[in-house]
Amino acid sequence: MIEAPHFAADGKKQGAFALPPDYFDGEVNEPVMHQAVKVFLANQRQGTHATKTRRWVTGGNQKPWKQKGTGRARQGTTRSPLWPGGGTVFGPHPRDYRQDIPKKVKQLARRSALNARAREGSLAVVEGLEFSAPKTAALAGLLETMGFSGKKVLLLTNGVNKTVYLSGRNLPSVEVLPYSDAATYNVLWSEAVVVERGALSGELVPFEPGDEAATAKPARTGAKKPLPKQKLAGAAAAKKAAKKKPADSKGSKKAAPKKPAAKKKGSK
C-alpha cells in the first residue's frame, strides 16, 4: 500500500492518506510511458508549415541572359533553387502528424506515471479546494504552505473547478486540470502532483447554484400525446373522403348507353 501526505484545505499537513491499491500498485512501465509521450507531442503539432517550390515562386519568366556567348553558365529562370529567392527543394509541406495509441496502452502509461510520482513521494492529497473568488495569491500561498514553492506543480481537481483554474492559470509553474483529463505528459512534466481527495475516493462533485437550472430540460406546456398509427390512418381516410362531394340523386344524369358501331357495307 502506497501512502501520500495528506493536507488540509489551508495547506497544513494532517497525516498520511492511503492511496487506492487497485490503481496505485507501484508498477511503472517506462517503455509505455515513452510511447504515450511521443504520441501526445506528435498530436500537438499543427502541421501548417509550408514552403514554395520553383513552380509557386513568382517571377522568373524571362531568361536571365542568352544561352551562349556570355561565358557564364546557362540559366533559364531566376526562380531556380540555385538562385537567391528561388524555390525550395524538398521543403516541408502541410501534413498531419497525428498518431494513434490503443486505449489500454494510454491508460497503462497514465497509471505508470502517477505510480512513479507516488513512489518517489511527489504526490500529495489535499482536501476540497473551495475559493470564494479566483485569487492567484491564495493558490500560490497554499502551495507555498504545502512546501511546493519553486516547483512545477500539477493540480488535479475533482471535476471541473473553474475558480481554481482561474486562480492558477497566471502561474507559469502551475497547471490545473481535472483528474480525469490529466495525460501522461502532464504528470511527467510536473515535479509534484497535488490531487483533491474527492477525485481519489470517488465522491460526487456538488452542484453549484444555477447548475441545476442550466442542466434541467424545459417542461413542455400543452404538448399532445402522439396518436397511434391506426387512428392516424383513419383520420387521413376520413379527411380524404370529406373532400369528395357526394353526387346529387336528382341532378345526376344517367350515362347514355353506347350505340353499337355501324357495320360496314359488304361485311358479313
Mean of pLDDT over the chain: 83
Q: Is residue 179 part of a domain?
A: yes
Q: What is the pLDDT of residues 137-194, one digit of tens each?
A: 999 999 999 999 889 999 999 989 999 999 999 999 999 999 999 999 999 999 999 9
Beta bridge mates, 19: none
Q: Is residue 162 part of a domain?
A: yes
What is the total residue count of the chain? Answer: 268
Q: Is residue 79 part of a domain?
A: no
pLDDT of residue 130: 86
Query: Residue 11 maps to which CATH number?
Result: 3.40.1370.10
Q: What is the pLDDT of residues 136-148, one digit of tens each?
A: 999 999 999 999 9
pLDDT of residue 260: 59
Work out the average pLDDT over 247-252.
49
Q: How many domains, the chain?
A: 1
Q: Is residue 34 part of a domain?
A: no
**How far apart are the C-alpha atoms of 225 and 243, rounded to whole Å?**
27
Q: Is residue 46 part of a domain?
A: no
pTM: 0.67
116 burial via Cβ count (<10 Å: 0-12, 13-18, 19+)? buried
**How far apart are the C-alpha atoms of 100 and 136, rounded to whole Å?**
37
Q: Residue 194 belongs to what domain range?
A: 3-28+114-201
Q: Is residue 215 part of a domain?
A: no
Nearest to 28 by CA among 122, 106, 108, 102: 108
Q: What is the pLDDT of residues 215-236, one digit of tens each?
A: 444 445 554 555 555 555 666 6
Q: Is residue 131 part of a domain?
A: yes
Q: Is residue 149 part of a domain?
A: yes
More confidently predicted of 128 and 194: 194
